Structure 1
């Protein structure tokens, strides 16, 4: 496992990090023993960054993560979020952010998190996010409830505004450096480098679209993107390759982000993601897949308020 500095923070994070949405039953039920075993497997693999949120199972993921990390707090970087609490439940008011953080700390069994981020900010007006909500993050950081602050979301335009209009330590972007979409490389990533903001990448398999069976959740990707994902899987199948493994290789090794978040409670899937970090990429296979998805590489789907999305979007 390689480790990289996270922007201008003093954190070094594993190239592969562990996303805890599956611990909150977001992709199907997982029992307690399965959840704890996944965290311990991640630790054994050298993973040091664990990313969570109160949205994941209404705190279930945080509770399970806190229990599984008992005795390991000083060895890991823990991140959680605030502002999103359900599929359509958002509250970025300072009071709710503060209450959410206090609850998260209790569930995670720690007196501080290393990274605190506002979760999926594109679903509300950004003026309040960049004013009152951001100011509350700063206050919580000053009080020692978190060491570093950030924001997460899907639209590149929203995250670029967040980096440009506030003084963040980190941002988390998902599904924007995959076999289907590489917009991260020429939009957000250069801005983060310029500003010294740590870049966290996620959803290498595009929320399951880049797996042999396709996504298990309702991804609002639109027909062109879904069709491109199927073409990518077909190219890999014809060559006896696993599209998910190639997707992880490409995202982890080529995105330029400090770390890529992988979420799973399946031992074989976690082993595969960790192996993808260091296994050399089959360049001929990659070229064939990227050729098959070239028509959607700069295309994103809609997420959140229309005004928080740019022009290169694809309706479901």
Structure 2
């Protein structure tokens, strides 16, 4: 495993980290013991950064990570969680210091800790980024010792660019993969200039970039790849990165010749992300130890040749640009 500095946190985090949405909810059923086996394999592979949220399984994902820390010892495991999506309705007016404190205190209980390593605003409405008092509240909660660092998880590049103008923002989590390349055009440069860590989320486009899906693939009713395919429940960009399923499969077929010998499509897709110096880590999910080990191995792949990177961009431009580039 390789490690990168996570912006102004100063932490050295694993280039391939662990996204814990899938073991919480919305990706089909995952038994607790399977989830724990995946988490333990992650630590065995050198993964030391775990991303979760208070709404993943209504706190289940956080509680599983607390169990992991009990069973493995605190060591150098960093856990990032998110706050805000417990609001109903989910509006900018709900992002008050009182509400944020309540969310954070609940996560402290779930994670069995006195201070959260990193709390991220969980894809709030765009208006929140134009309210300095929200970030002032996070500064106060940090001074009180409830959180060590804070950041944001965003839907749009414009939100990321606005967020990093606040000096307390240590990290930005943003969708970035072969199917969603816009963040590399401007945002990455600005994030580096402000020493902001970048977490690349949805790195495998909800599994499309695993290379294992076919047009006949079906998903359970509890899987967001079934119930949110067109944005019915939350932002469409969260599911298959906003890409039409059939179009995504066509693009994957075009990418297959670019996969290095001996590597999987998923490893290629993750290594593509790590080719960008601004990225601190990619955070794929994993529902079993085998998936986790396959993902982790991407960190040791040789750098992709310039010609491969160019051809991957050509696939994006031909199949995906018109669908996603200007929306997010």
TM range (shorter): 0.7 to 0.9
Contact map agreement 2:18 2:49 (CA 8 A) in 1:
yes
Cα distance change of structure 1 residues 2 and 194 upon mapping to structure 2, 3 Å threshold: same
| Deviation, structure 1 residue 236 | 4.5
Equivalent position of 1:231 in the other structure? 250
Deviation of 1:244 (Å): 2.5
The 2-side partners of 1:159 and 1:202 are apart by 13
Which of structures 1 and 2 has the larger relative contact order (alpha carbons within 8 angstroms, sep 6+)?
2
Work out whether residues 236 and 242 of structure 1, in 8 Å CA contact, stay in contact via their aligned partners in 2: no
For the 8 Å contact 1:130–1:165, the answer to whether it is kept is: no
Unaligned runs of 5+ in 2: 220-224, 230-235
Query: CA 1:300–1:46 in structure 2 vs 1: closer, same or farther (change >3 Å)?
Result: farther
Instruction: Give the TM-score normalised by the residue count of structure 2.
Output: 0.82
Tell me the matched-pair count.
301
d(CA) in 1 for partners of 2:327, 2:145: 39
Question: How far 1:113 sits from its partner (Å)?
Answer: 1.5
In the other structure, the counterpart of 2:233 is: none
- Consecutive unaligned residues of structure 1, counting only runs of 5 or more, are 302-310
Residue 85 of structure 1 aligns to a residue whose secondary structure is coil
Whole-angstrom CA distance in 2 between matches of 1:56 and 1:273: 21
Using the alignment, how far apart are the partners of 2:297 and 2:2 within structure 1?
A: 12
Q: Which residue of 1 aligns with 2:222?
A: none
Inter-partner Cα distance in structure 2 for 1:152 and 1:224: 20
RMSD: 2.8
Question: Partner of 2:78 in structure 1?
Answer: 77
Aligned to 1:270: 292
Structure 1 192/254 Cα, relative in aligned 2: closer, same or farther at 3 Å? closer
Aligned to 2:66: 66
> Structure 1 residues 246, 99: CA separation in 2 closer, same or farther (over 3 Å shift)?
same
Return the offset for 1:15. 0.7
Say if 1:204 and 1:260, in contact at 8 Å, map to a contact too. yes
